[in-house]
């Protein structure tokens, strides 16, 4: 589609698991032609992630050839799938043909692996000086502590984020969302597109190096935890945030409500919603600094009021006074929101043979353009599904050459 921002750009996707494939998914959603390269012996390990979706619906184990992992169905959309054993001696020439006219390579191997395979940035740059070569790893090109291998939980532990949630004295709290795996790809896409713009201007590509630890720790550093600690403000405050009082998550009779009212207008609106206009001029709650000083009292007052009412009643009262408030939703309810559906920030999941699947959702491209289109509307490929299209149609290999490569387990 020529109306997409990255239309005409080609990405060679050497990634597996989540962090790398999410980055290339976004590039695909922005219109790039993404060629996902997988080992012919099994492909991306995510193809083995339960649950699987097929003719009989969802299963915990793969029972038919058409059963595909929900992970790969979500992360493989809008990509062309080819196979290539990068360890095979005859793979070097095929890989060279793939990258020679490409714009971008994205990989998320552990440091040192691409060099051993002969597919690192210096090797690719010799073939294509304009290439933007993006690496996503746990700790960056230099490697990291211990085994040097990183999973999301390891990154969460090292970043400090596990000690920012929960009550004081609690053990570490792991985010249920793999935030390290999902944050690094965003920076990788920003870096890739920025380097692509520079390459257009200078004619020279470069290596873009993004670490999961650096990405997540940089987010932790957005909050002034060191300053808070220095002045005696707790870093872990549970469901409320005393330094922004009233602020936090409060229990209602049938659920929970998120409340954000740190400024005077909002805080006074909360008191009016409670029918406690008399407290607006109370010396404990009249100004922001005083509310912070008496945060426990204020949150207890609001908490008692909420606990006696249904979520809907609490929200009606708060929003009626212009106070920012919302129900705490389950993931299922959240991804079904008509607003995010209409904006295609969340989209239905597609199976390549069975089409749309009721009740299953996947991420869209949460960016709207006024003069361009972004989206993920093609299903994930089967392993090696586009070998003929890419090797034959795009690279010009003969049918005989493709058959020989397949017979020798190169592809």
Residue 224 has what pLDDT? 86
**pLDDT tens column, 153-184:** 999 999 999 999 998 888 999 999 999 999 99
Contacts of 126 (CB under 8 A, 6+ apart): none
- Domain residue extents for the chain: 10-219+337-407, 242-330
Residue with tokens 């957005």: 222
pTM to 2 decimal places: 0.94
Give the domain 10-219+337-407 fold.
Rossmann fold (3.40.50)
Q: At what angle do helices 311-320 and 264-273 cross, to 10 degrees?
A: 130
Q: Which two tokens stand for residue 58?
A: 């969802």
Q: Is the pLDDT of residue 7 over 70?
A: yes
Contacts of 252 (CB under 8 A, 6+ apart): 306, 307, 309, 310, 311, 314
In this prediction, residues 66-70 reach a mean pLDDT of 95
Output 237 or 345, whichever has higher pLDDT: 345
Contacts of 169 (CB under 8 A, 6+ apart): none
Q: Is 217 exposed, middle or buried (0-12, 13-18, 19+ CB in 10 A)?
A: middle
Burial 126-144 (b: 16+ CB within 10 A, else e): eebebbbbbbbbbbbeeeb
Residue 236 has what pLDDT? 86
Q: Do domains 10-219+337-407 and 242-330 have the same CATH topology?
A: no
User: Residue 226: which pLDDT band, with cuts at 50, 70 and 90?
Assistant: confident
CA angle 346, 6, 78 (to 5 degrees): 45
Q: In CATH, what class is 242-330? A: alpha beta
């Amino acid at each position: 589609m020529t109306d997409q921002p990255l239309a005409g750009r080609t990405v060679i996707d050497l990634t597996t698991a989540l962090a790398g494939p999410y980055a290339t998914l976004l590039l695909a959603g922005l219109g790039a032609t993404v060629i996902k390269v997988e080992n012919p012996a099994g492909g991306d390990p995510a193809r083995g992630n339960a649950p699987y979706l097929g003719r009989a619906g969802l299963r915990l184990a793969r029972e038919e050839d058409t059963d595909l992992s929900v992970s790969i169905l979500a992360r493989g959309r809008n990509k062309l799938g080819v196979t290539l054993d990068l360890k095979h001696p005859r793979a070097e020439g095929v890989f060279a043909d793939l990258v020679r006219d490409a714009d971008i390579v994205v990989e998320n191997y552990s440091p040192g692996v691409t060099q051993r395979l002969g597919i690192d940035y210096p090797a690719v740059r010799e073939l294509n000086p304009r290439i933007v070569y993006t690496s996503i790893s746990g700790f960056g090109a230099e490697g990291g502590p211990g085994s040097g291998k990183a999973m999301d939980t390891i990154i969460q532990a090292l970043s400090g984020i596990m000690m920012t949630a929960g009550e004081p004295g609690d053990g570490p709290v792991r985010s249920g969302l793999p935030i390290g795996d999902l944050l690094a790809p965003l920076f990788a896409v920003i870096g890739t597109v920025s380097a692509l713009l520079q390459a257009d201007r200078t004619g020279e590509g470069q290596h873009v190096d993004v670490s999961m630890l650096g990405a997540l720790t940089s987010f932790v550093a957005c909050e002034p935890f060191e300053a808070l600690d220095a002045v005696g403000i707790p870093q872990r405050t549970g469901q409320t945030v005393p330094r922004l009082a009233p602020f936090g998550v409060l229990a209602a009779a049938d659920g929970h409500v998120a409340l954000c009212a740190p400024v005077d207008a909002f805080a006074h609106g909360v008191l009016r919603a409670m029918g406690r206009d008399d407290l607006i001029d109370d010396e404990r709650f009249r100004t922001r600094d005083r509310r912070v000083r008496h945060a426990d009292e204020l949150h207890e007052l609001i908490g008692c009021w909420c606990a006696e009412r249904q979520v809907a009643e609490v929200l009606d009262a708060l929003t009626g006074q212009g106070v920012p408030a919302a129900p705490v939703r389950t993931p299922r309810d959240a991804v079904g929101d008509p607003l995010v559906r209409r904006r295609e920030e969340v989209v239905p999941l597609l199976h390549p043979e069975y089409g749309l699947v009721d009740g299953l959702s996947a991420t869209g491209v949460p960016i709207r353009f006024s003069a361009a289109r972004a989206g993920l509307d093609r299903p994930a490929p089967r392993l090696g599904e586009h070998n003929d299209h890419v090797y034959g149609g795009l690279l010009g290999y003969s049918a005989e050459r493709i058959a020989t490569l397949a017979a020798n387990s190169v592809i």
